[in-house]
Amino acid sequence: MTATLLHRPRSQRSALLAAALCALACDAPPAALTRGPTSGWPEYGADKGGSRYARADQISRENVEHLEVAWEYHTGDYDDGSTGLAPSTFQNTPILHDGMLYLCTPFNNVIALDAETGVERWRHDLQVDSSQFYSPACRGVSFWRDEAAEPGAACRRRVISGTLDARLIALDASTGRPCPEFGVAGSVDLAEGIGDRQPGEYGVTSPPAIVSDLIVTGAMVLDNRRVDAPGGVIRAFDARSGELRWAWDPVAPGKRPKVGGDVAYQRGTTNAWSMLSADPELGLVYVPTGNTSPDYFGGHRDGGDYYSSSVVALDVETGKVRWHFQTTHHDVWDYDLPAQPVLFSYPGPEGDVPALAQATKTGLLFLLDRRDGTPIFPVEERPVPGGALDGDFVAETQPFPTKPAPLHPLEPLRPEDAFGFTLYDRGKCREAIEAARSEGLYTPPSLQGSVHFPGMMGGVNWGSLAVDSKRDILVVNTTRTATTVRMIPRDEITPKQKASKYGFEPAEGTPYAVERRPLLSPFGAPCNPPPWGTLTGIDIESGEHIWQTPLGTTRDMAPWPLWLDTGTPNQGGPIVTASGLVFIAATTDNFLRAFDTRSGEELWRGRLPAGGQATPMTYRLTPEGRQYVVIAAGGHGVLGTRVGDSVVAFALPAP
């Protein structure tokens, strides 16, 4: 080397010497592995059971710090709030099939991208009138392959998407054109049989479940609008023709549905707006249900919330209920089940048990035998606060799993617990807590105002959880921010409250309207003490927490130097890889992070161009190719994160 250097010009000798020294001493990025297992992401949650687990292992503990942006794509379809609507939220997780990524935008553009380069291959605008919707979202699309069709036939491979305005669409996966034999010109009207609906009140925001050549879907129904809201029917459609195969109307056993005219499904019933899961071997679809309308008053329900806030297992061929497990009785807290039920194997003493993990807004995590709904760990009925509103009641007890331990504090938020950056805002938080009823989890709504902690966001929300089946670890993120809920007698509602765009909800048909808001200080920080967001690892076999760490910092929501590791409210979920990594964004700071699955140690963070309120996904197309981690970075209007339209792919440097 020395002889070679001496025969070069001085400038070249200096540069080569520097390079040689760096090769010996610098921490140069390692080249991507030459070969390794391929890994796909064919479903929203990686598989039909929503495990969010990937076999890809090229990115590891040892090299994750060298991740870089491989490509970035802009959808061009978002609303920053300048139109007068709430800013849009980009909650999408793409799916991967045949080298293509398929995704949907907040306003229902369906897009296909080349998975290696991020180059757009086609786009189909589903022509939704965006002016009707508050904070529009589309979390994902689904995919179906017609095994009976000839290879290469049009619409043999289909992208299935629901829409904000209640349609079910089938598109050719190769071209993006509608499949003409599906419904009418590629579209099924989900409003059929629902009855009247107000603008933006009923639509699909989550990807349908695909099982046994059926498309199974629920729908989103806006909270707290009226008693007689559209019903929460779950329906299965033939994936070829779009023909209705079955419908489950969530009416209590022994009750006859109240239908007639253009109403085929009882109105005001519990709905399932989140992701469903399926076990094709057991022939079951698992449905996480929400509240019976409206959320905070149930005096009119007359047993109509029998299936509310429950995991319901439906027979995939008939739609009949095989079992159900209720996580909150007579729910008047908006503690609907927002998270996809996650299927996994529990290592029992007599062999593996097919199990299901249901995360909840309460921060309680229920592990069930998915064959019959029997709890893996004992569940106890424990007394909870009483004192309901006039005309309503609350259950005397609620179910609490003995394991795993709660992901969220259950104790009452006391005035002395108030948080603040200064004496001033801490004092204001203390006054707000003192003025409200605060008796811990399941404090009933009240006229004076009640502290709900966890609040309407959770706990755990639609990001659900991930299962590392190689290490038998569950990973789940949690928000810890309190909400105040005040019930307003109908004759006391003011014109100013009626005109409010956020925080006031009419709950028509009940004696009360609802005023609900995050419990924040004058400076915008939560009044409860941090951490305001956490990430937790749980040993599956024992049910014990093995680690917990704050998730997120105050960066992007507070000026420097107030960038604190307090954890933040979060929307979105984690994924896990075979190499022992957890990837998650979700927080109010604009980062995608990687954690060690066994220890919870943060190993890397990558800057995002906007809020990452989505669940990432990962894949590797060929044994010689790179592993990509992809996230939608488009923000969340309600959380107040930066809005945008980016899809960002990270990978190790190319060799």
List the beta bridge partners of residue 458. Answer: 455
Three-class secondary structure assignment of 59-75: CCCCCHHHCEEEEEEEC
Is there a contact between 652 and 618 (Cβ–Cβ < 8 Å)? no
Quote the tokens at residue 129: 């009138």
Coil, strand or helix at 188: strand
What residue has token string 């070069």?
8
> Mind giving me the DSSP string for 512-544?
EEEEEEE-B-TTS-BSSPSPSEEEEEEETTT--
Which of 525, 503, 565, 457 is closest to 224 using CA atoms?
503
Q: Is 334 a catalytic residue?
A: yes
Beta strand 53-54 pairing with 545-550: unpaired
List the beta bridge partners of residue 216. Answer: 209, 236
What residue has token string 């590797």?
620
Q: Is the dihedral of CA 46, 374, 358, 407 positive or negative?
A: negative
Q: Give the C-alpha separation, 522 to 457, whole Å.
A: 20
The DSSP element (H or E) to which 628 belongs, if any, is strand 627-633
**Residue 457 — left, alpha, or beta (φ > 0 → left; ψ -120 to 50 → alpha)?**
alpha
φ, ψ of residue 378 to 5 degrees: the values are -55, 145
Instruction: Name the active-site residue from 334, 392, 425, 556.
Output: 334
List the beta bridge partners of residue 538. Answer: 474, 545
Q: Give the C-alpha separation, 294 to 336, whole Å.
A: 12
The DSSP element (H or E) to which 584 belongs, if any, is strand 581-584
- Show the DSSP H helices in 156-288 as ranges: none
- Cβ neighbours of residue 352 under 8 Å, at least 6 residues apart? 345, 346
Quote the tokens at residue 367: 């592990």
What size, in residues, is the chain? Answer: 655
Quote the tokens at residue 614: 């989505």
Three-class secondary structure assignment of 375-397: ECCCEEEEECCCCCCCCCCCCCE
What residue has token string 């990452």?
612
Q: Give the C-alpha separation, 151 to 167, whole Å.
A: 28
Is there a contact between 344 and 352 (Cβ–Cβ < 8 Å)? no
- Cβ neighbours of residue 495 under 8 Å, at least 6 residues apart? none
Beta strand 450-452 pairing with 187-189: unpaired
Beta strand 533-539 pairing with 512-518: unpaired
Is there a contact between 464 and 458 (Cβ–Cβ < 8 Å)? no
Is there a contact between 163 and 104 (Cβ–Cβ < 8 Å)? no
Catalytic machinery residues: 334
